């Protein structure tokens, strides 16, 4: 292959990695802005910032605002919901996500254009590469959402049981949720902390819990929120409702674990047939085959 093509491909890959490094970092200002007020001081402070803070990130934000204006409103709403379900990663927004999608699509398509010939198959590979770069952030974001939902589903039974015991001990439901958020860790603690913040600013508890269930989109959590809303509406004991929900969640968690254990033999079938058994056959039959060939020879 021509050395110019290889150098161009390396340059494109390097630029894509550089762009990803620049846009994936958190904005961490390191300057003291409290004691300067002149234009010269402001210019000095601006020049002391990194190139990514002065050029790259503002450029990406402007590009993101332009792309957001061109993107259908339904798609923007879906991306906002996905970012909220992913835990609202620090430094990421819809604008930055749209910018990264476009840059990756252009970078992957440019790399494929340098590596293939200008034929029908080559053009098809270029288009597929661009499409792959465009959907790659969506795939990674969905994977983060799935991992976060699995963690919430795994910890939910223990948290609900903990809140139930606190309510039975005399705490109010708001105080119990806040205490559970402080004593827990992971995504469920973040969601409960956000519920507490919403309640403190004046949002009704049922609305805050419903918003949490909408963000997380876990069936078990929606069931717990619906049960709490019904108990509050009908005047039923909250502690008893939480105790029942904790028991059902533990039962579902055990059933899910048993289901995963039953799937394990099927998942092991492929590596055993195609990876382990051929090696065993070689180890067992190869010495006998060698002896037979020596005796016949």
Report phi then psi at 264, rounded to 5: -60, -45
Say if CB 14 and CB 116 are below 8 A apart.
no
* Helix ranges restricted to H, the chain: 3-24, 39-48, 51, 57-70, 73-85, 94-115, 120-168, 173-183, 187-200, 205-216, 219-234, 238-271, 277-296
For residues 49 and 25, give the distance between their C-alpha atoms in angstroms, rounded to a whole number. Answer: 14
What number of other Cβ atoms are within 10 A of residue 135's Cβ? 14
What pLDDT does 27 receive?
A: 45
What pLDDT does 30 receive?
A: 44
Quick one: 22 exposed, middle or buried, by C-beta within 10 A (0-12, 13-18, 19+)? middle
What pLDDT does 128 receive?
A: 92
Q: What is the DSSP letter of 276?
A: I
Q: What is the pTM of this model?
A: 0.70
Which of 3.30.1330, 1.20.81, 1.10.3470, 3.40.50 is the CATH number of 150-253? 1.20.81
For residues 1 and 285, give the distance between their C-alpha atoms in angstroms, rounded to a whole number. Answer: 44
What pLDDT does 82 receive?
A: 87
For residues 171 and 164, give the distance between their C-alpha atoms in angstroms, rounded to a whole number. Answer: 10
pLDDT digits (tens, 9 = 90+) for 117-131: 778 888 898 899 989
What radius of gyration, in Å, describes the C-alpha atoms of the chain? Answer: 28
Residues of the chain with CATH 1.20.81: 150-253
Of all helices (H) and strands (E), which one includes residue 88?
A: none
The residues of the chain scoring below 50 in pLDDT are: 25-36
For residues 241 and 93, give the distance between their C-alpha atoms in angstroms, rounded to a whole number. Answer: 38
Report phi then psi at 269, rounded to 5: -65, -45
Q: From 156, 289, 128, 287, select the one nearest 218 (Cα to Cα).
A: 156
């Amino acid at each position: 292959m021509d050395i110019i093509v290889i150098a161009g491909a390396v340059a494109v890959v390097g630029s894509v990695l550089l762009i990803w490094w620049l846009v994936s970092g958190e904005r961490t200002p390191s300057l003291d802005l409290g004691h300067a007020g002149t234009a010269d001081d402001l210019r000095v402070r601006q020049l002391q910032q990194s190139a990514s803070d002065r050029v790259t990130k503002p450029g990406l934000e402007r590009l993101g605002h332009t792309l957001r204006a061109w993107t259908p409103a339904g798609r923007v709403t879906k991306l906002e919901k996905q970012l909220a379900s992913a835990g609202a990663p620090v430094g990421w927004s819809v604008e930055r996500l749209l910018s990264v999608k476009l840059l990756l699509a252009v970078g992957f398509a440019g790399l494929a254009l340098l590596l293939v010939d200008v034929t029908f198959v080559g053009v098809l590979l270029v288009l597929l590469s661009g499409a792959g770069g465009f959907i790659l952030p969506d795939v990674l974001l969905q994977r983060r959402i799935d991992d976060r939902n699995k963690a919430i589903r795994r910890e939910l039974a223990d948290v609900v049981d903990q809140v139930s015991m606190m309510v039975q001990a005399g705490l109010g439901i708001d105080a119990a949720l806040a205490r559970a958020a402080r004593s827990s860790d992971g995504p469920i603690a973040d969601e409960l902390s956000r519920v507490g913040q919403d309640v403190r600013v004046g949002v009704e508890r049922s609305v805050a819990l419903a918003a949490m269930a909408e963000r997380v989109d876990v069936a078990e959590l929606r069931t717990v929120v619906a049960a709490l809303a019904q108990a509050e509406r009908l005047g039923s004991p909250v502690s008893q409702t939480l105790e029942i929900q904790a028991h059902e969640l533990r039962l579902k968690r055990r059933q899910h674990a048993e289901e995963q254990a039953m799937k394990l033999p099927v998942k092991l079938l492929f590596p055993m047939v195609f990876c382990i058994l051929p090696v065993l056959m070689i180890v067992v039959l190869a010495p006998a085959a060698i002896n037979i060939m020596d005796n016949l020879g």
